[in-house]
Amino acid sequence: MTLNELVHAVGGRVITDPDDVRDFCHDEHSYVKPGRPCAVVIAESAADVQAAVRWAAEHRVPLIPRGGGTGIVGGTATTDGCLVVSLARMTAIKELSPQDELAVVEPGVINADLDRAARAHGLMYAPDPSSYETCTIGGNLATNAGGLRCVKYGVTRDSVLGLEAVLADGSLIRTGRRTVKGVTGYDLTGLLVGSEGTLGIITSATLRLRPAPKHPPVTVAAEFSSLVDAAEAVWAIVRASVGPSLLELMDRATLEALDDWRHIGLDAKTSAMLLCQADGPDAAAAAQVMAECCTVNRAAVVAVSDDEAEAAQLLDVRRMAFTAIERMGACLIEDVCVPRSKLPEMFAAVERIAAAYDLAVPTVAHAGDGNLHPVFVFDRGLPEIPRAVWDAAEEVFRVALDLGGTLTGEHGVGTLKRHWLGAELGDATMAAQLAIKNALDPLGIMNPGKAI
């Protein structure tokens, strides 16, 4: 095997120096030990990706696609001898059509940059993960990322019309369409979104844009003395069918972390804070209904505001939650999702499990989707995640599955959650997924050891 062939085949840069390669070996989760790649391809075009994949297929070299590196489940962790294909320099917004409300973008485009470009035309790109200022569209597509607005506008898959992708043999395919409707053939677009780079490498995406709200949002901030009461308020808001654009919940431990860092004025009796927002023409009426749901479910404080600056400040506090928690120690950030009617039971279970294992488990949630992020905090500097943390996390997984939920709502499976896949999917479904993997990647070189 010669790297000279790869260097000559790829138009972009190929990195082989071990010190430089090290920067491409892991995502933000540091507890998956990476292997040593043979090289990193800095792709600048789909042709570069094709050349890299063809070289890897010829030499049976595992391929690890990589975007911004903001993932937290070891989805881009490297293996010895693999080839990393970085898409971070493919940053072109190739087309933005206000008439058809769509954009065609390369995978290295930053999520927030696309949203800003759309808003210049009175549109928006709806998915907004917490890392929206640093995460890339390619990574969002790989994990079917969500965000704060997904309660109203859906997750990444709901904004994807079509894709261009390089398959394991180096061939370039185009899936989907530019039209609002279309059912020709199998839904390969939906299959590739969320596949975590195990079926192909996405090199372009045709994305749906939406009209940006014409009216300022109306925000409801409610404080509760009980986390379960706050979860009950979420379920009441969902049943009220008022179309919230945001429903975010933070527990006491999260609020304490934020208060220690940013001095948010946390009241001693507050055990949970619920942030609600409506952004349509009937936003004021919807906000009033949400406020009433909070009051009925024993909120101690309920504030309603149509001030955009206040709303932005509150959302900034929510987006800073994970950074605040990470100041407490090393973290295992989890991502279970349950039916929204089961939110109170799931929150109660997390509190019970944290107490049983004597662990700090701050929890934030995209509550309108039933998507909880319990964060297991432990001492820094340990060589691996402590057994007690894994045992507690496994109990959280089991409860989520027992309640009809799932192991991951938006972060993906990556390396960390493969052990529990069978418990959710079952043998027959696992076999079907492996059959799809083997059909599209017969050599098993596409991000091996991830997702399935």
What tens-digit pLDDT sequence spans the chain (452 residues)? 588 889 888 877 999 999 999 999 988 866 788 999 999 999 999 999 999 999 999 999 999 999 999 998 999 999 999 999 999 999 999 999 999 999 999 999 999 999 999 999 999 999 999 899 999 999 999 999 999 999 999 999 999 999 999 999 999 999 999 998 999 999 999 999 999 999 999 999 999 999 999 988 999 999 999 999 999 999 999 999 999 999 999 999 999 999 999 999 999 999 999 999 999 899 999 999 999 999 999 999 999 999 999 999 999 999 999 999 999 999 999 999 999 999 999 999 999 999 999 999 999 999 999 999 999 999 998 988 999 999 999 999 999 999 999 999 999 999 989 989 999 999 999 999 999 999 999 999 999 999 98
- Return residue ranges of the chain for CATH 3.30.43.10: 3-86
CATH class entry, domain 3-86: alpha beta
Please give the CATH architecture assigned to the domain spanning 93-211: 2-Layer Sandwich (3.30)
CA–CA separation, 212 and 128 (whole Å) = 14
Q: In the chain, where does the domain assigned CATH 3.30.465.10 lie? A: 93-211
Spatial CB neighbours of 102, under 8 Å, sequence gap ≥ 6: 95, 96, 161, 178, 206, 207, 208, 209
Provide CATH 3.40.462.10 ranges for the chain.
Answer: 218-402
* Cα-based angle 424, 378, 257 (whole degrees, multiple of 5): 100
Nearest CA-CA partner of 37 in 64, 59, 55, 67: 64
Residue 147 to residue 44: CA distance in whole angstroms: 28
CA distance 234 to 222: 11
In this structure, which amino acid lies at residue 418?
R
Q: Can you give the pLDDT at residue 170?
A: 98
Integer Cα distance of 298 and 276 in angstroms: 16
DSSP assignment of 18-32:
HHHHGGGS--S-TTS
Please give the DSSP secondary-structure letter assigned to residue 202.
Answer: E
- Cβ 144 vs Cβ 122: under 8 Å: no
Amino acid identity, residue 39?
A
CA distance 213 to 210: 9
Task: Please name the residue that has the structure tokens 């999260």.
Answer: 254
CA angle 240, 241, 242 (to 5 degrees): 95
Q: What per-residue confidence (pLDDT) applies to 4?
A: 87
The contacts of residue 407 (CB under 8 Å, 6+ apart) are: 335, 336, 397, 400, 401, 413, 417, 420, 421, 423, 424
What local confidence, expressed as pLDDT, does residue 258 receive?
Answer: 97
Query: What gap in Å lies between CA 195 and CA 447, rounded to an integer?
Result: 10
Q: What is the per-residue pLDDT for 197?
A: 97
pLDDT for position 7 = 86
C-alpha–C-alpha distance, residues 322 and 197, integer Å: 26
**Total-model pTM:** 0.94
φ/ψ of 186, rounded to 5, equals -70, 155
- CATH number belonging to the domain at 218-402, selected among 3.30.420.10, 3.40.462.10, 3.40.50.970, 3.20.20.120: 3.40.462.10
Total number of residues shown for the chain? 452
Please give the C-alpha separations between residue 74 and each of 30, 393, 415, 449, in angstroms, as whole numbers: 8, 16, 5, 10
